[in-house]
Amino acid sequence: MSLVTSKEMFKNAYQNGYAIGAFNVNNMEIIQGIVEAGREEKSPLILQVSAGARKYANPIYLRKLVEAAIEDTGLPIVLHLDHGDDFEICKACIDSGFSSVMIDGSRFSFEENIRVTKEVVEYAHSKGVVVEGELGKLAGVEDAVKVSSKDATYTDPDQAVEFVERTGVDSLAVAIGTSHGAYKFKEKPSLDFERLQIITNKLAGFPLVLHGASTVMPEFVAKCNEFGGKLPGAMGVPEDMLRKAASMGVCKINIDTDLRLAMTATIREFLIKHPEEFDPRKYLAPARTAIKDMVQHKIKNVLGSSNSI
């Protein structure tokens, strides 16, 4: 089995109302934890690499680790570039064997976003690689976004249709109130499901993507704080909202912060409880298990992609 694209995955996910987890990977233990969960749940996976991850790990190491994960598990795995800034980084990933790239032109004007996305789509499709675009800007940490600013930053449903038609993208990341990181909402989590429903209706059958979808799991925040961390006010997207999004045409749900928290909370606890230890394997092994358990929970109880291969 070699890398696959997300085409079939998204088709099945859309038809059956579930989502594929797209997990950010930065090192071996993270990859192993995620794919072990995928193996137990018989779930396809998207492993995504950010520009920061490429810089941290040197892309060849991550690519080879993902190849090893496929050889080891036989799972259908997509290797995806997360938040590609420009044509060059997308091309570099396509040329080095990624099966999917995201071109994030959301900081540009509508026309410039279309131009750069189309350029990436043309190159990617000529090599059999799929492309995710983004329209609208993910919310900042301020909650209760006013209607006028909401209209300026959240995805406009009519523009979404035009964007998909003119660029030829294979999936589209939409902005409906999520944001990256551990501080997504100040008080009550809220997503614009009305807008999502309109986009889904207008783009009937077309796969949507939700970024900034970590739940910021309270047990990991509490554990971080119990063992010397300082994460006051951390808050994410509740799991029932993710389930709802998955039933409404969202086929890819991006998770990074929950992986970071699971890993850091476990390492914090271990090192405080075992101050005499200095063998990295001693704290990385439980961190890897914590990632596996967290991802398995997401696949089984939130995303709904178990037993879909």
* Residues acting as catalytic residues: 82
Cβ-based neighbours of 203, under 8 Å, separated by 6 or more: 160, 161, 164, 172, 249
Of the ranges 119-127, 200-208, 209-217, 264-272, which one interacts with ligand 13P (CB under 6 A)?
209-217
Interacting positions 176-195 with ligand G3H (CB under 6 A) = 180
Angle made by CA atoms 153, 156, 157, in degrees to the nearest 5: 155
What is the amino acid identity at position 6?
S
Two tokens at 53? 């991850």
Two tokens at 34? 């995620």
Alpha helices in 108-251 (DSSP H): 110-126, 147-153, 157-167, 193-202, 218-226, 239-246
Residue 213 touches which member of ligand 13P, ligand G3H, Zn ion, none, C-beta under 5-8 Å by kind: ligand 13P
Interacting positions 209-228 with ligand G3H (CB under 6 A) = none
Residue for token pair 């070699």: 2
Residue 25: CB minimum distance to ligand 13P, A: 11
Residue 229 touches which member of Zn ion, ligand 13P, ligand G3H, none, C-beta under 5-8 Å by kind: none
Check binding of 21 to ligand 13P (CB under 6 A): no
Contacting residue, 63, 80, 184, 211, with Zn ion by CB under 5 A: 211
Beta carbons within 10 angstroms of residue 193's beta carbon: 15
H or E segment at 260? helix 257-273
Interacting positions 88-147 with ligand 13P (CB under 6 A) = none
Nearer to ligand G3H, 52 or 140 (CB): 52
Question: 44-79: b or e for each residue (b if 16 or more CB lie within 10 Å)?
Answer: bbbbbbbbebbeebebeebbebbeebbeebebbbbb
Nearer to Zn ion, 213 or 287 (CB): 213
Contacting residue, 100, 200, 257, 308, with ligand 13P by CB under 6 A: 257
Its sign, for the CA torsion 258, 264, 267, 270, is: negative
Residue 268 touches which member of ligand 13P, ligand G3H, Zn ion, none, C-beta under 5-8 Å by kind: none
Check binding of 54 to ligand G3H (CB under 6 A): no
Residue 23: CB minimum distance to ligand 13P, A: 9
Interacting positions 91-130 with ligand G3H (CB under 6 A) = none
H or E segment at 8? helix 7-16
Distance CA 96, CA 61 (A): 12
Positions touching ligand 13P (CB under 6 A) are 24, 82-83, 180-181, 211-214, 254-257
Residues lying near ligand G3H in the complex (CB under 6 A) are found at 24, 50, 52-53, 82-83, 180, 256
Contacting positions for Zn ion (CB under 5 A): 211
